[in-house]
Structure 1
Amino acid sequence: MPAALTPQQFRVDLAELLYQEPEEVDLDDNPVGAGLDSLRVVTLVERWQEYGIDVSFIDLAELPSFQRWWHLLDERQRARQEAGHHGDV
């Protein structure tokens, strides 16, 4: 299983595509208003899927802020980790 996506790595990933430093990313920003186009969102989706997180472009497009993105990613990541632990005997 790949390493978990952390809040810090989430910020780094966003900052890279927003051409900002991680600490400059405002998690209350609207992704489109912050400058993310659909191609960049797809890039992020693919990157986060590499962590084993089940997320799609549509999932993110429906959410109004980076903070909401993080909550969705974290929730799905935790659900995957819990499902993995239930399979351990």
Structure 2
Amino acid sequence: MTTLTETAELSPEWLATRVLSLIEDETEIDPTENLVLYGLDSISVMTLSSELKQRGIEASFDELAREPTLNAWWALIAARR
């Protein structure tokens, strides 16, 4: 069961920080740029999908992989909160 705290802490900043930790890069990410260009791989996308599901947000690997940008991912998360 997802608690309100788990979904409440989701934010664009959380997403950007989480993606940075997945790609293990210290660079600033352009929210409109394809995250694959920063080194994001399919395992990381699967990991994020699983973490979002644990927080009550259904976002499949296919949905995330379709448009791998911070802006697109946040729009998907925000729409499903």
Alignment of 1:25-64 (within 5 A): 25-64=29-68
Q: Are 2:22 and 2:40, in contact at CA under 8 Å, matched by a contact in 1?
A: yes
For residues 53 and 35 of structure 2, the distance between their equivalents in structure 1, rounded to whole angstroms, comes to: 19
Aligned counterpart for 1:15 among listed residues 20, 30, 38: 20
In the TM superposition, structure 1's runs of 4+ consecutive aligned residues that sit over 6 Å from their partners are none
Identity, in percent, stands at 36
Aligned partners of 2:65, 2:13: CA distance in 1, in Å?
A: 21
Larger-gyration structure (1/2): 1
Count matched residues: 76
Alignment gaps of 5+ in structure 1: 78-89
Decide whether the 8 Å contact of 2:16 with 2:70 is kept in 1: no
Structure 2 CA distance for aligned equivalents of residues 16 and 28 of structure 1: 18
Pairing partner for 1:66 from 58, 67, 70: 70
Q: Contact conserved, 1:14 with 1:25, CA < 8 A, in 2? A: no
Mind listing any 5+ residue stretches in structure 2 that lack a counterpart? Answer: none
Tell me how far 1:64 sits from its aligned partner: 4.7
Give 1:12 deviation, angstroms: 1.0
TM-score by length of 2: 0.80
**Could you say what the CA RMSD is over the residues aligned between the two structures, in angstroms?**
1.6
